[in-house]
Amino acid sequence: MKKATRQRIRKVLRAVYYGKEKEETEIHWQSKVIAQIQNLGPPALIENYMENLSSLLWQLVPGTCILILILGLVFFNIEFIPRYEITRWLIEESSELSVWGQFL
Amino acid sequence: MSDDYFNLTDTEIITRVVEGNVNAFEALMIRYQEKVLKIVKKRIPYRNLEEIMQDVFIRVYQSLATFEGKSNFDQWVSSIAVRTCYDYWRKAYKTHELPMSSLSEEHQKWLRETVAHSSDTSLEEKIKQKEGRELLDWALRQMSPDDRMVLELIYLEGLSGKEAANILGWSLANVKIRSFRARRKLEKLLANFIKER
């Protein structure tokens, strides 16, 4: 495409684009915005609420880490202790059974 | 609403709103509604204007406490308006709400004739026709939301790369690369309908 054509296309498209600004509109949105912001409350409060929420979350971080660590250890141990316990119980139980068997 | 607010500066109104005088926001809204409407009208289909205007001013209100006064309030509001339009298009593309119409013979003819016209008076008449707007809407629909925004700001509105980068919150390099690619894509799209001698 020639440079002159490119420039001409741009000029036309820009004119069409800016023509949209001049179009008449009949829209009513202002009262809805006012009603909505009255429900929201002052913007500073919204801001403070978010700040408080984030500071609260940061305060919970150490506690959460400790909890995760404890739960991790618990789950790690749960994996092995019952097997060990069961094995021990079975050994003890079988010896008891054999002793009982001698009396029966 | 009290007329007192209209005599106050933007900063004074903002302070009052942030301090809890919610009704003072109306003065800011009235002061900037024309500017925002111009920005939104160029970018958003007529049927969604009302919804987007509401969104823009709610966003302005919610972010008011973060306005530090480093930039002009006018630019700050404009930037929120552009970004709201950008979010609208991203959502529209994601949910496939865009009509997949093709360019008709009338639109192609309109483009050929308008580009070929030499006098500015005939151009003025031509751009008022609905074909022009439909053609522009069609061409922009072929772009991704990112390309569309960059194309509107730089190619159509004539903003510098730096200004567009500030509005969109992107890096200058990203804006320049996108602008170049989007422009080439647009020219390629329209070149098919223009027969050069």
ipTM here: 0.83
pLDDT of chain B along its 197 residues, tens only?
555 777 888 888 998 888 888 888 999 999 999 999 999 999 999 889 999 999 999 999 999 888 877 778 999 999 999 999 999 999 988 876 666 567 788 888 888 887 777 666 667 777 777 888 888 998 998 899 999 999 999 999 999 999 999 888 899 999 999 999 999 999 988 887 776 54
Chain B nearest-CA distance from A11, in A, is 9
Alpha helices in A1-104 (DSSP H): 3-19, 30-40, 43-103
| B37: chain A residues, CB-CB within 8 Å | 25
**Cβ atoms of residues B118 and B126 within 8 Å:** no
The alpha carbon dihedral of B169, B78, B184, B88 has a sign of positive
**Stated pTM of the model:** 0.73
Instruction: Give the C-alpha distances (Å, rounded to integers) separating A89 from A44, A80, A95, B197.
Output: 65, 14, 10, 97
Chain A nearest-CA distance from B159, in A, is 12
Q: Mutate which of A37, A39, A47, A49 to test chain B, going by most B C-beta atoms within 10 A?
A: A37
**Cβ atoms of residues B22 and A38 within 8 Å:** yes
**Which one-letter amino acid corresponds to residue B84?**
T
Q: Tell me the Cα Rg of chain A.
A: 38
Other Cβ atoms within 10 Å of B22 Cβ, number:
18
Predicted pLDDT of residue B197: 46
Question: In sequence order, what are the residues at sequence separation of 6 or more whose Cβ sits closer than 8 angstroms to the Cβ of residue A16?
Answer: B127, B132, B133, B135, B136
